[in-house]
Amino acid sequence: MLSIPDLVIIGAGHAGCEAALAAARLGVETLLLTLNMDAVALMACNPAIGGSAKGHLVREIDALGGEMGRAIDDTMLQSRMLNLSKGPAVHALRAQADKQRYQNRMRTALLSQPRLTVRQGEAVSIETEGGRVTGVTTATGQRIACRAVVVATGVYLRGRVFVGEAQWDSGPQGLLSATRLSGCLEALGFSLRRFKTGTPARMDARSIDFDRLEVQRGDEPVTPFSFMTDRRLENRACCYLTWTTPETHRVILDNLHRAPMFTGAISGVGPRYCPSIESKIVRFRDKERHQVFLEPEGLESREWYVQGMSSSLPEDVQWAMYRTVPGLERCELIRLAYAIEYDCIDPTQLRASLETRRVGGLFMAGQINGTSGYEEAAAQGILAGINAAMYLLGKPPLILTRDMAYIGVMTDDLTTQGTDEPYRMMTSRAEYRLRLRQDNADLRLTPLSHALGLAGEERYERTLKKERDAAEAGRVLRTTHFAPGPALNSWLKAHGQPEADGPVSAEELVRRPAVAVEDVKQLCLPLAEMDAQALYQAEIGAKYAGYLQREEEAVRKARAMEDTLLDEAIPYTDITALRMEAREKLAAMKPRSLGAASRIPGVNPADVAVLMVWLKKHAEDDGRRDDE
């Protein structure tokens, strides 16, 4: 038996990369196994990072000490802050990446990380003894001894690709699929299901009429993803917008009888919020057109990505369909669009730490858990990597709750409610989204990560300074007052505000919807000398004070439920006051807390009340026994 690291990560996609880096940085000897070294951190679909809610996840990954934020800052082609016309809770960064440079950047981080070894190889089975992980066996017959495993296999498990009537076993972009590990997971008792995703065609830039497209420029200045990025970032490319036409819709509708999604050839469940173009045309027949974004795959690549037109239609239909779109009449397809079906687990088989309930030391992260998207995968990856390290080091796991992070919302959704379709993070899923903003992810999570040993001293000191500066900016806003008079009234008039009939504080001015803290800097010199990030935190604190206070009160009320931890040994089936469905669900899922129990489908408020009474009674019985 070959003596090797204590932790094996299976899969080097976005989840596997973050898991491996986090564990190694926490001092655990880690082996990262990948089917293909050339596919490390592959952006098999859109070469972009972030977006609505997804940008929040990337900021949280970065705040914890992860790599994705720094990697996209180093390789971005274009960046935009989305939803600026709305409130700060839903502002979200999105950046187009140079696909090959992003992969190379992440591969370099992996290969230069101490305590981390990266190897090409296929894991075909996970060995266990006494309900715990003992090793991994590869396709070549090597048995690798280890005490923990993170499964981060993406869409490779029994992957099958569909292009019209043609279908074949494959991973994404022509890579090999993993055909044997699924059987091992089933033998270990895990319930598997089939999900489906897809991708659009890639086009030769020389065949696109860019003059007929609407230019989509990036933001200036660029806001970095990483809280550690100090240098000025530059947009180096543009994206473009066009639209489908009635002719596009006719071509698709005339060929639905050849579409695998409609013939029954594809049985896997597809993503609701990223449907194929044929699904959009059928679902929204009343819409005359749909947006299509043309996005570059790299500065040195001629391939362009056609966002909004993923498909599994036959090749001849694809050529006809894409050429009905304005600007694409002469397009040449470099890669065909396709759908891919793959195996994943029911995520209710996981604890909130992403460790499986069935096997100790076995963690799962990414699309194996039923999610979609690079950001969702990477967020699970860093959590699984941290907790695999905590498991091996004999320390308590890091549990992120719904009031702490979007990562906590996602993990709770998956482990308590499960998902019947590829799960996508959205701001609407977070009930405390005003406190879980993308701009304060470092303030929320870096102290936690630093305490674990993942976030370094420099990152931690930056966070503390930002916190101090924001507090000082808030103090200046509260304590700076302006007397009524010509100077103040002139300023108010210039900003479309009514004249003041008495003294007014800087904070009161900032609370006005049409006034920004940048405007008030003209009146208050101490503010002009302060850090922009600190001022932004103070501005949000002033403008949304009432809303933030209500959210904090809601969190305090919910915290009692979250802090009431439930022992996994509770005999739910014996608590006869619970309804039968609740007994079955609670016994199967063994929720971590009373709050988690309340969110399990099939457990109603009356069941939670019964459980609270049972807990109180048993606590009193335990107290009497201790007295005796």
- Which pLDDT score is estimated for 1? 39
What domains can be seen in the chain, in order of their start residue?
A: 7-194+344-452 (3.50.50.60), 202-341 (2.40.30.260), 457-548 (1.10.10.1800), 564-627 (1.10.150.570)
At 394 the pLDDT is 97
H or E segment to which residue 292 belongs: strand 291-296
Q: List, run by run, the mean pLDDT of 10-residue segments along the chain (628 residues).
A: 76 98 98 97 96 97 98 98 94 97 98 97 97 97 96 97 96 94 97 95 98 96 96 96 97 96 90 90 92 97 96 97 98 97 97 97 98 97 98 97 97 95 95 96 98 97 96 93 87 88 90 89 82 92 94 92 90 92 92 92 91 86 61
Closest by Cα among 543, 470, 534, 533 to 506: 543
b/e sequence 291-328, b meaning 16+ C-beta within 10 Å: ebbbbbbbeeebbbbbbbbbbbbbbebbbbbbbbbbbb
| Residue 624, pLDDT score | 60
Nearest-angstrom CA–CA distance, 22 and 64: 9
Distance CA 575, CA 535 (A): 54
Tokens of residue 508, six digits: 């009161």
Angle, vertex CA 431, rays to CA 425 and CA 432, nearest 5: 105
Handedness of CA 222, 21, 591, 375 (dihedral sign): positive
Cβ atoms of residues 537 and 470 within 8 Å = yes
Q: How many CB atoms lie within 10 A of CB 514?
A: 8
Looking at residue 274, what is its pLDDT? 84
Which run of H or E residues covers position 339?
Answer: strand 338-345
pLDDT score of 3: 41
Pairing of strands 202-204, 192-199: unpaired
The strand pairing partners of 78, in sequence order, are 96
Give the pLDDT of residue 463: 97
